């Protein structure tokens, strides 16, 4: 079976494993106050071009979202997200389990706009019954989005300005940040992301690490006591240095020379190759993605053959005979597997 | 600096790292439904001598405690624990953050007794104001305890019987299960632990793994939908196979021949060596521990010297000039370091 | 100012006040275990035609919804509601604050259908990622709905059957139950409501009482320990007899001869008079309601005049020059005020 | 049966009922923004001698405690209380149900001291594992305490100063505030309470009202959005004016001429009469209370007779043949009943 159903099918990039082996018997303090973590923090601060950026590490994305959002909200406050947002759909109500409502806005290509947020908050504030409704306090976006799409720099700036205007926080889920930033359609750098959000995270789990997400706070009012919350939400890893070691390997080197970007570029390139190949066969895409997730609309008959040899994510039914599916590439995807998939599709398409 | 302050100072046992390297580029489904996890489950079922034992894996202890306990209680129910219990003291209110009160009983050597539980529940049930108090539903114990002590088989059976009598669940935190079971004072096997609890976990983080805890349900009424809770609490590891691989390595082999037990025995042996050595110097122990944590009472003057060369855990002040401290050994402790520590102590004691 | 903006503008029906005065200096036990509460329970059991119905009293609707729903769900479960449902919109995230997600379905005239629920649950169960989503466990409906509409007996039975088929609970919010049941379009009795739900509540606050809601459990698996939850959620009224006294007055008498129904009929009759009068002036209704809330679409110019003399609820903008508004009648509405409103509207309409 | 078991046995003071009847058919806006509430707020502001005091009303004590404390704490913060504190014992874990741990300190006569708080917070801050423990943020005290005792002005000032020193909030539960303030041993006024706390509440339920507590914020950083929390926690009473009307009646008049103080004085006088009478019979008191709760130690044989004619609260066993019990007086207690009780006790004591 050749697997394309997600971007966490393999372990870690070999350089990460090597470093974990090399450092294995070093003795370090627990909970992320070791020197590996400190070096990784320094490297990330270089990436975001702010020596004061506050950086912590957690194990996974859902854990990160629920911990960061719990740190940002009082009991009566909620978080605005696209109705396709990961926290709204695929985290088993983890945000609600911390007591907060996810306030959904209809997505457009997986995104929400500054205008939508502005309208929502204005309507809330103008409503004489507003105290009977959850108060919006945070805006959650993803980059790349769950649909593989990207916010432009202008869109992100607009969202950030709107948040500041209404005293809201902007939080960006970067589970696929590398794949977003290295897309040919991206006009953002990590420093831009930092500048135009209050807090965001750099996804490691889907981008070369065994596991791990690096949370970066730009807004210094928000991270007081954050480590208490990390512990309370079950995320303060005993052997915290495992996270430091991994992020150190990912971000060693200058600017976009780092492993993190190189492996992201690889995944994006193969994703675009796949997309172009599928389009060349006459198929349409459900969503026009420029990142590592691709969503072709395929005949169910073709999918029947496909599923004997490949795994993919089922996205949704499009019509009686067609479905949208998801293929993911990643840092670990082999080009020969993409070629094989395209050649099989070509054969089955005739 | 030679570190003795906790039992998670190094990475993982080399055999675990080797296996992670060997399996690194295998493609597997995410979230712990892969074949590594399945094999690890089978090995654990052998250990507990029940082919129907329900096994899941999480990353760390606090996460495990809060997820299991959330699965066992309705909103108005609480969990009984010793006042020294980890959930009562050192998990930043993670249980309360899921809405449940920890109901503490005074510990005796880190333990609570069946009689204490029986009295507590009877008093609750007899109280005409009982609906104004949290209803006890689960009993939480640790093995080895936070104080390094052990429940005897008779004590555990009594607790379990008392729980069943009152329709309570018994949950055992096995963060240091290996160090408990391999103690010369232990009269329990893992199969006993399984038999006399409703659910327990096998600690990996402190016993040879990079991270990871294996949760084992004996009571089949309790694990329905447990994976929903794992996801909601942020614990469903994307690359779940990392947990399966590690526990597979730890439990390959028959009975107590497994790596898990061998490395635990190593830690216990060095701990006892340390204890005997310290006692031979004329010092008393704060708690008579037979597992990998040792709690000598030392003069502050000696500690002043000690802390320049060794790390240890500060436990509590005993009198004006003496403190109790904690030394931990682990699977990774080098005998030469124990010898060095004893020889330095001897020197500083004169 | 003549007020029509809601149905809780005045105190209580005079017969209730009289009884509160008569019984004022009686000494009774606290927390709703007094004889007034017991008599009220007996009267309600007659209404639902089941001597085993389990009845408790709380103070208000939001409190009731959050307490009942907390009793019905485990941590990973959620409640399905119409997107117009009170718990989804106007309770400041009280359900989420107890840890549970409200899963919204698009309403049709304020209602959701058995088919919608069936489709939703089937899709959930079929989804291979279902454990990443909140598990649906309860269906919440209102009678009358927040839009003034009514479920037919057939619709309610269908919903109940669908819930039972999928092992879900059906909960009915009866904040305006009297106004629903006494509508000329209702084909339900309170006994029907009881029969085709797992639990529902009889609203007192909006129907003649100073405050108070009577919760009626049909499903006997669900009310164990309910009084613990009442206390925990802040709802166990110290002078519980105040609730008993009020519901006793409301339900004394046989069948629909009770005060509860008589005063509900009064409100419905005036609401229909208002609706017919407004329609006769050529205006359309935003929602075709047969209960005590009426939603005419009026020109903003007319509303400008109206708001100087009357209060009403602003519902939503319909077009550039028209808005939908809400007028409520209640047990306390004076017919002369309805006549006055109609006559003013007629004058302003010319 | 003559009842002394609590201080909420009857309805409301007749003047309150009269006013509720007089105002019953007035139309007012809901949710406590009516003119009755505004007038009551103004009267309370006079009592605390600050025209800027922020005042809101809720229905009961548990609801008030959980709502205020939820407003004061972030997710990882906890509230310090005496181990006899109402929130620690008799609110069914309502604080934990909002996610916060109650951190208990051993009480002395129902009280905690500034020194205890200071020591606790210092120890927390000095602990290298502090992020593994709940962060103390609020101190909860009661006046009068659950044991009938009183903080002196010096003790209260000390607590407040200690809280300010450590950036903690001081919250005072005034369920029995009137009975506390009117005690012959009290050296505090309501203005003092206001001055030396961040927020407190004036209990109505136990002091003459049908129900109701008035929350008074001195610290203006804390009440932002408080009404959102009132709604979320189920406490925003639809007919909010019922609370306003009652507190208006209680606090009309100047200084201690108000009904609130007069009826409190009555209860305290009868409690002291009861205490002195019981002591004159040779019995000891379990707690030396100067407020409306009295805790004599009586022989079980006497209690056997007593319980056929009187209700009382069972407090605790003192020795094999004696128990401590609680008698409460209130605004509604008849002097003849106290006399009767004393005369019966005298008879049974011989």
Residue in chain A nearest B64 by alpha carbon: A234
- Token pair in block for residue D197: 């706390």
Each residue's pLDDT expressed in tens, for chain B with a length of 350 residues: 999 999 999 999 999 999 999 999 999 999 999 999 999 999 999 999 999 999 999 999 999 999 999 999 999 999 999 999 999 999 999 999 999 999 999 999 999 999 999 999 999 999 999 999 999 999 999 999 999 999 999 999 999 999 999 999 999 999 999 999 999 999 999 999 999 999 999 999 999 999 999 999 999 999 999 999 999 999 999 999 999 999 999 999 888 889 999 999 999 999 999 999 999 999 999 999 999 999 999 999 999 999 999 999 999 999 999 999 999 999 999 999 999 999 999 999 97
Same domain, B238 and B319: no
For residue C314, list chain A residues with Cβ-Cβ distance below 8 A: 128
The residue from A239, A256, A273 where one domain ends is: A256
Residue A62 and residue B236: Cβ atoms within 8 Å? yes
What's residue B303's pLDDT?
97
Please name the residue of chain C whose CA is at the shortest distance from the CA of residue B101. Answer: C232
C239–D205 CB contact, under 8 Å = yes
Domain identity same for A173 and A319:
no
Q: Cβ of B10 and A27 within 8 Å?
A: yes
| Model ipTM over 0.95 | yes
3-state secondary structure of B122: helix
Tell me, what CATH number does D291's domain have? 3.90.1150.10
- The domain total for chain C is 2
What pLDDT is stored for residue A168 in this prediction?
A: 98
The reply to whether residue A14 touches residue B24, judged by beta carbons under 8 angstroms, is yes
A207 touches chain B (CB under 8 A): no
**Is the CB of B17 less than 8 angstroms away from the CB of A24?**
yes
Which of A101, A129, A314 is the closest to C93 by Cβ? A101
A336 has a chain B CB within 8 A of its CB: no
List pLDDT tens digits, range D276-310. Answer: 999 999 999 999 999 999 999 999 999 999 999 99
Q: Which of residues 123-152 of D touch C (CB under 8 A)?
A: none
Whether residues A90 and C133 touch (CB distance < 8 A) is answered with yes
Axis crossing angle, helix A14-22 with helix A241-251, rounded to the nearest 10: 130
pLDDT of residue D254: 82
Report whether pLDDT(D273) > 90.
Answer: yes
| pLDDT value, residue D253 | 87
Instruction: Name the residue of chain C whose CA is nearest to A79's CA.
Output: C93
Q: Is D6 in the B-facing interface, judged by CB distances under 8 Å? A: no
Interface of A with B in 296-325 (CB under 8 A): 311
Query: Minimal Cα–Cα distance from B27 to chain A, Å?
Result: 5
Question: B211: nearest CA in chain A?
Answer: A239
- Chain A partners of B237 at a C-beta cutoff of 8 Å? 59-60, 211
Same domain, A177 and A30: yes
Query: How far is A21 from chain C, CA to nearest CA, in Å?
Result: 33
Span D152-189, pLDDT tens digits = 999 999 999 999 999 999 999 999 999 999 999 999 99
Tell me whether B5 touches chain D (CB under 8 Å).
Answer: no
Same domain? For B306 and B333 the reply is: yes
* D99 contact residues in A (CB cutoff 8 A): 98-99
> Using one digit for the tens of pLDDT, what is the confidence trace for D308-332?
999 999 999 999 999 999 999 999 9
Contact C12 D21 (CB under 8 A): no
* In a shared domain, residues C181 and C280: no
pLDDT of residue C256: 83
Q: Specify whether B98 is located in the same domain as B148.
A: yes
Q: Is A232 on the interface with D (CB under 8 A)?
A: yes
Q: Name which of B96, B102, B134 is nearest D99 (Cβ-Cβ).
A: B96
Residues of C in contact with A92 (CB under 8 A): 76, 131-134
- Candidates C93, C97, C120, C124: best to mutate against A (most CBs of A within 10 A) is C93
In angstroms, the separation between the Cα of residue A17 and the nearest Cα of chain C is 29
Distances (CA, A) of B79 to B138, B171, B200, D105: 5, 10, 14, 20
SS (H, E, C) D267-285: HHHHHHHHHHHHHHCCCCE
Closest CA to B125 of B160, B84, B166: B166
Residue where a domain stops, chosen among B238, B256, B274? B256
- Nearest to B134, CA basis, from B198, B79, B82: B79
Chains touching D by CB (3 or more pairs below 8 Å) = A, B, C
- What local confidence, expressed as pLDDT, does residue B255 receive? 80
The answer to whether the CB atoms of C242 and D211 lie below 8 A apart is: yes
Contact C24 D3 (CB under 8 A): no
Intra-chain end-to-end CA distance of chain D, in Å: 23
Contact status of D94 with chain C (Cβ, < 8 Å): yes
Task: Tell me, yes or no, whether B137 and B72 share the same domain.
Answer: yes
- Domain span including residue A115: 15-256
Nearest CA in chain D to C63: D234
Element (H, E) at B342: helix B335-349
Put simply, whether C35 touches D (Cβ < 8 Å) is: no
Predicted pLDDT of residue B272? 98
| Residue of B25, B88, B238, B340 to mutate when probing chain A, most A C-beta within 10 A | B238
Interface test with C, best of B70, B74, B75, B168 (most C CBs within 10 A): B75
Are A2 and A333 in contact by the 8 Å Cβ rule? The answer is no
B233 touching chain A per CB within 8 A: yes
Residue of chain C minimizing CA distance to B69: C75
Cβ pair C21:D23 closer than 8 A:
no
Place of tokens 């009551």: D40
A282 and A154 in a common domain: no
**Does B228 reach chain C within 8 Å, measured CB to CB?**
yes
Given this model, what pLDDT does residue C151 score? 98
Return d(Cα A51, Cα A69) in angstroms, integer: 24
**Which one of D70, D234, D341 would you mutate to disrupt binding with C, by most C Cβ within 10 Å of its Cβ?**
D234
> Which residues between 144 and 203 in chain D have a beta carbon less than 8 angstroms from any beta carbon of chain C?
none
Within 8 A by CB and 6+ apart from D279, the residues are D285
- pTM comes to 0.97
Do B73 and B215 sit in the same domain of this protein?
A: yes
In this structure, what are the phi and psi dihedrals at residue A342, rounded to the nearest 5 degrees?
-65, -40
D25 shares its domain with D114: yes
Do A76 and D225 count as a contact with CB atoms less than 8 A apart?
yes
3-state SS of chain B: helix, strand, coil percent to 5?
45, 20, 35
Helix residue ranges, H only, B176-258:
177-181, 190-195, 226-232, 241-251
Residue D255 has pLDDT above 90, yes or no: no
Q: State how far the alpha carbon of B120 is from the alpha carbons of B162, D101, D164, in Å.
A: 11, 20, 38
Q: Do A206 and B238 touch (CB under 8 A)?
A: yes
Which are the contacts of B262, defined by CB distance < 8 A and separation ≥ 6?
A: none
* Chain B interface disruption, residue of A71, A90, A239, most B CBs within 10 A: A239
A134–C92 CB contact, under 8 Å: yes
Domain holding A173: CATH number? 3.40.640.10
Is the pLDDT at A26 greater than 90, yes or no?
A: yes
Contact of D140 with D173, CB cutoff 8 Å: yes
B288 shares a domain with B181: no
Spell out which residues of chain D touch residue B91, defining contact as CB-CB under 8 Å. 132
Say if residues C340 and C277 touch (Cβ distance below 8 Å).
no
> What secondary structure does DSSP assign to C9-52, as a single string?
SS---HHHHHHHHHTTT----STT-SHHHHHHHHHHHHHHT-TT
State which H helix or E strand residue B215 sits in. strand B213-217
Give me the pLDDT at residue B350, please.
Answer: 79
Strands, E assignment, A11-127: 54-58, 77-82, 102-105
Chain A contact set for C132 (CB, 8 A) = 90-92
Nearest beta carbon to residue C132 from set A75, A91, A101: A91
Q: Are residues A94 and A203 in the same domain?
A: yes
Low-confidence ranges of chain C (pLDDT < 70): none
Contact at CB, A134 and C99, closer than 8 angstroms? no
Q: What is the pLDDT of residue D230?
A: 98
Distance (Å) from the C-alpha of residue D21 to the closest C-alpha of chain C?
A: 7
Buried b (16+ CB within 10 A) or exposed e, B142-153: bbbbbbbbbbee
Size of interface B-D (CB pairs under 8 A): 57
- Residue at which a domain ends, from B256, B274, B298: B256
Q: What's the mean per-residue pLDDT of chain D?
A: 97
Q: Does C27 touch chain A (CB under 8 A)?
A: no
CA distance D329 to chain B (A): 20
């Amino acid at each position: 079976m050749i697997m394309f159903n997600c971007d966490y099918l393999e372990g870690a990039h070999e350089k990460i494993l090597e470093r974990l082996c090399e450092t294995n018997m070093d003795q370090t303090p627990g909970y992320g106050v070791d020197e590996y973590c400190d070096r990784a923090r320094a490297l990330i601060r270089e990436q975001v071009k702010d020596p004061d950026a506050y950086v912590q590490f957690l194990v996974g994305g859902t854990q990160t979202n629920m911990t960061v959002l719990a740190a940002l909200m009082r009991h009566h406050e909620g978080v605005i997200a696209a109705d396709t947002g990961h926290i709204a759909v695929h985290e088993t109500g983890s945000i609600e389990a911390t007591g907060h409502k996810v306030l959904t806005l209809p997505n457009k290509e997986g995104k929400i706009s500054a205008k939508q947020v502005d309208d929502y908050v204005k309507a809330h504030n103008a409503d004489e019954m507003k105290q009977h409704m959850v108060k919006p306090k945070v805006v959650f976006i993803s980059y790349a989005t769950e649909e593989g799409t990207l916010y432009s720099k202008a869109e992100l700036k607009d969202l950030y300005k709107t948040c500041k205007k209404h005293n809201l926080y902007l939080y960006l889920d970067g589970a696929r940040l590398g794949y977003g930033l290295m897309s040919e359609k991206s006009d953002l750098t990590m420093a831009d992301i930092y500048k135009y959000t209050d807090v965001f995270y750099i996804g490691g789990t889907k981008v070369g690490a065994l596991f791990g997400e690096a949370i970066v706070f730009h807004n210094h009012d928000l991270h007081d006591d954050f480590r208490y919350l990390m512990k309370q939400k079950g995320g303060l890893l005993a052997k915290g240095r495992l996270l430091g070691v991994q992020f150190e390997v990912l971000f060693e080197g200058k600017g976009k020379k780092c492993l993190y970007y190189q492996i992201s570029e690889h995944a994006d390139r193969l994703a675009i190759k796949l997309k172009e190949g599928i389009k060349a066969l006459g198929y349409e895409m459900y969503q026009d993605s420029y990142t590592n997730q691709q969503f072709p609309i395929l005949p169910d008959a073709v999918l029947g053959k496909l599923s004997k040899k490949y795994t993919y994510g089922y996205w949704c039914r499009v019509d009686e005979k067609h479905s949208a599916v998801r293929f993911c590439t990643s840092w670990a995807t082999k080009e020969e597997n993409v070629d094989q998939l395209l050649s099989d599709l070509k054969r089955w398409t005739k």
